[in-house]
Amino acid sequence: MYLLTILLLAAAVIQTRMTDLRRAIAIILVQSAFLALACAVVGIQSGHMHMYVAAVLTVVIKVGLIPYALYKVLPYLAEEREVPTKEIVKANMSTFLSLLSIIIAFTLVMPVIPSAAQHETLPASISLVLIGFVLIMTRSQAVMQIIGLITMENGLYLLGLTIANGLPLIIELGIFFDVLVAVVVLVILTYRLKLSFLTTDTSLLKKLKG
């Protein structure tokens, strides 16, 4: 479980260095696969059958459907990478911010938890959420922001796994469906954005301000 947590965090940190959208999607795919594994591990430890169902769902939706949809939209986008000149902050800076958020999460959360079984996983999940925030904040490409959202979602899911040994199946189903719909809608919006603005650079959305 520790190993998986470390791998998840590592994937998220590497994500902040990516400028190529295709590779970024590959990494989110890998990250979600780690999450599915973590889910299965919790299932083995606790012996709940429905954790396996959740793991399978994670594989189907987060490893399968969502990256598939993102790959599908890529050919329509002219710029398949973050344009260096348009970057809000440099990749180094965003990596630094993500490391900072890991530190914040660990220093803030670690002392509060009474020595629970998943002592390190809880702060790790919170740092995943914060890294998701950083990703959305520091990137202007719409696809990268979707990836940031999925990272956050993975963090929240890990949180659920850690604290409650997984949520009731019906709630998990709800969350999966929610994420799927959100990403599909976002993909469609990205495509519309491309049609309207000829780019998926969300910093252009400033023009919509009232």
Partner 1 sequence: MKLWYVSALCFYALGICSPLFAAKRPAVSNVLAHFAAVLGSLALLGLSLTIITGNGETLRFAWFAPLGDILVTLDGLSALFLLALGVVGTAASIYAVGYTKEYYGHRFASMASLYNAFLLSIVLVLTVSQVFYFIIAWETMTLVSFFLVNHEFEKAGNTKAAYQYILMTHVGTAFIVAAFLILSSSVESLDFAGLAGAQLPGGLRNLVFACALLGFGTKAGVIPMHVWLPEAHPAAPSHVSALMSGVMIKTAIYGMCRFFLEFLGTGPQWWGVVVLALAIVSSVLGVLYACVQHDLKRLLAYHSVENIGIILLGVGSGMVFMSRGQALPAALAWMAALYHVFNHAVFKSLLFLGAGSVLHGSGTKDIEHMGGLIKRMPVTALLFLIGAVAISALPPLSGFVSEWLTFQSMFHLPAAMSGLLGKLWAVILIALLGLTGALAGACFVKVVGVTFLAKPRSAGAAKAHEAPVSMLAGMAGLAAVCVAAGVCPQWMLAVVGRAVAGLKGVDSAGMLAQSDWLTTMLPLGSGGDSLAMPFVAVLLLAGCLMALGFARLAGKAKVVTGETWTCGIVPTARMEYSATGFTEPIRRVFKAILRPVVEIKAEKEPNPYHGVRMTFSVHITNIFNEWIYNPLCEGVMFLAENFKRIQGGSLQVYIGYIMVFTVIVLIVSNRG
Binding site for partner 1 (CB under 8 A): 88, 104-105, 108-109, 111-112, 126, 129-130, 133-134, 136-138, 140, 145, 202-203, 205-210
Report, in Å, the least distance between residue 203 CB and partner 1.
Answer: 7
Smaller CB distance to partner 1: residue 25 or 142? 142
Query: Is 4 or 134 the residue whose CB approaches partner 1 more closely?
Result: 134
Q: Which of 157, 150, 121, 120 is nearest to 133 (CA)?
A: 150
Instruction: Please give the C-alpha separations between residue 33 and each of 89, 103, 196, in angstroms, as whole numbers.
Output: 29, 25, 34
Closer residue to partner 1 in complex, CB, 71/133: 133
Closest CA to 100 of 131, 60, 76, 139: 131
Q: Show Cβ contacts of residue 114 under 8 Å, excluding neighbours closer than 6 positions.
A: none
Q: Minimal distance in Å, beta carbon 105 to partner 1?
A: 8
Q: How many residues does the chain have?
A: 210
Q: Least distance (Å) from partner 1 to the CB of residue 206?
A: 4
CA distance 108 to 103: 8
The CB-of-49 to partner 1 minimum distance in angstroms stands at 33
Nearer Cβ to partner 1 (58/101): 101
